[in-house]
Amino acid sequence: MTDSSNCYYRFPNVLEDRIDYVYYHPRFERIINLKDEYKYPVHQLSEYILNKWTGENLGKRDTKEKNYLYVKVENILDNKIVITGNSEFLSNSELNQLSNSVPKSNSILVTRVASFGRCAAVESDFKGAISDNVLCFELDERVEPYFISRFINSSLAQIQLQRQAAGMGRGVLTYDRIGGLFIGVPTSKDEQNDILKFTELKEREVAKLNEEMLKLLGDAQTLFLGMLGISVTRELDRISYYSDYVDKLDRLDYDYNSPKYDLIDEIISHSRVNFVELDNVADFILDSKDPTKYPKSLFSYVDIGNVDINWGRLNPITMIGKDAESSRMRRLMYADTILVSITRPTRNAIAIVPKELDGQICSTGFAVLKCKGNMNNRFLFHALRTRLVNWEFQKNCSGSGYPAINQEIDLPKIKVPKPLINEQLDIARETEKLLVLAEIKEQEARQKQIEVTTYFDNLLLRSS
């Protein structure tokens, strides 16, 4: 076989019953000898499947019952089923997606579309149903469900699933494809549980590091607000109400006028520093450029998804002018300006533009803020990412189908703290000391997660 960045070929004697060329791509070479690498007896997963669990038919239920557990693709994550009881009736669209399967203990669920192949074990029977975009099958007693779930989520299974989906316009997982996976399983369930135990110990180390990182992030925000004399000791009240405020208020959406947002003004009134509207300390830059007028030129582009929301850093992509067909790829950004996402602003997709991105392009879904002389950009960056300002974003996003804040009307009126410039510098500096420690924890967690990702695989393979 010859392989290059552009082409490869296979001799006829290695061809199987598949004719799509991607199936034979060199990146799947590992699969060819994978069955010989296991320490344990190798079987296809179908040999451990008792049946595709078909439980009570949902159509025979009262579908208006509340707190009905409904498992969708997005509920399957990190070897767990993350579900909550529906507080309202199931919608017609949800009902149409339901299969006749009810999850049962000793079974596992696998996503079959989108990011297909994510898997979780069912701990015990529960009242509910699953989407028809989720496969559900019951295992025999020779295997622990969590062992099989972890295997399907491992690279050993995922590379097999990727190969099976090769050549398809839209990958869709089937029971046959799952059943065709090769797996080396310890014959003793005690040994299976030992492997799970060792792996989970490693994962707990990762979880602990992530908890420490999140605590430091919270401590940094508490320090920032505390140095301004602001104490946020409680959350917004979660209340729903109807009232007779319509005649005296300029916005009719009731959540915007909810009394819960009175907490914002209460906190600001007790601060030792002045709060001003955002347009008093920053100019809104509306410069634009059409990259398609320079079709052969490379440029860096930042969309909302390119913002690391933990650290407020930008991860740009490189594009060529002729490919910038979207009208959203037009906003110019400059070094040291602040990008604020005006769609879903409560996600904290906020970042300072580094020097290397000066004059490059960002999405029109950002507001580009240039600090005036009375405001330090690092201080304003941290202020905009606090819970207090996040609540202001939340308030102003109400009343729309897709959460967004109006850049011309509402965003300029957001209130931000404005101490003296020297104090701004001190507060930003002290805040960033904690953020540096938090980032170290994140790096440790990321490295440990890489170890965990390969740990389970290594426990099953001879070569490890």
pLDDT (0 to 100) of residue 108: 87
Q: Is the pLDDT of residue 31 over 70?
A: yes
Domain residue spans in the chain? 12-187, 188-211+424-464, 232-269+274-418
Q: Is the pLDDT of residue 15 over 80?
A: no
pLDDT (0 to 100) of residue 299: 96
Please give the residue that has the higher pLDDT: either 92 or 136: 136
Residue type, 323: D
pLDDT (0 to 100) of residue 113: 79
Lowest mean pLDDT among 219-223, 261-265, 284-288: 261-265
Q: Is the pLDDT of residue 67 over 70?
A: no
Residues 6+ apart with CB under 8 A from 338: 282, 350, 351, 352, 353, 368, 369, 370, 371, 377, 380, 381, 384
Please give the residue that has the higher pLDDT: either 76 or 399: 76
Identify the H or E element spanning 130. Answer: strand 128-130
Question: Whose CA is closest to 326, among 348, 307, 301?
Answer: 301
**Domain 12-187 is classified in which CATH homologous superfamily?**
DNA methylase specificity domains (3.90.220.20)
Please give the residue that has the higher pLDDT: either 122 or 14: 122
Are 291 and 361 within 8 A, CB to CB? yes
Please give the residue that has the higher pLDDT: either 105 or 216: 216
Q: Count of residues for the chain?
A: 464
Count Cβ neighbours within 10 Å for each residue of 53-90 and write b for 16 or more, e otherwise: bebeebeeeeeeeeebbbbebebbeebebebeebeeeb
pLDDT tens track for 353-390:
999 999 999 999 999 999 999 999 999 999 999 999 99
Q: Is the pLDDT of residue 2 over 60?
A: no
Tell the CATH topology of 232-269+274-418: Adenine-n6-DNA-methyltransferase TaqI; Chain A, domain 2 (3.90.220)
pLDDT (0 to 100) of residue 4: 43
pLDDT (0 to 100) of residue 148: 92
pLDDT (0 to 100) of residue 398: 67
Lowest mean pLDDT among 31-40, 186-195, 352-361: 31-40
| DSSP 8-state assignment for residue 24 | G
Mean pLDDT of 280-306: 95
Q: Torsion angle, CA of 178/183/188/192, rounded to 10 degrees? A: -80
Mean pLDDT of 231-255: 61
Is there a common fold for 12-187 and 232-269+274-418? yes
Lowest mean pLDDT among 140-149, 269-278, 322-331, 445-454: 445-454
Please give the residue that has the higher pLDDT: either 12 or 367: 367
Partnered with residue 128 across adjacent β-strands are 69
Q: Is the pLDDT of residue 43 over 70?
A: yes
Looking at the whole model, is its pTM more than 0.85? no
pLDDT (0 to 100) of residue 56: 41
pLDDT (0 to 100) of residue 61: 46
Residue type, 136: C
Residue type, 95: L
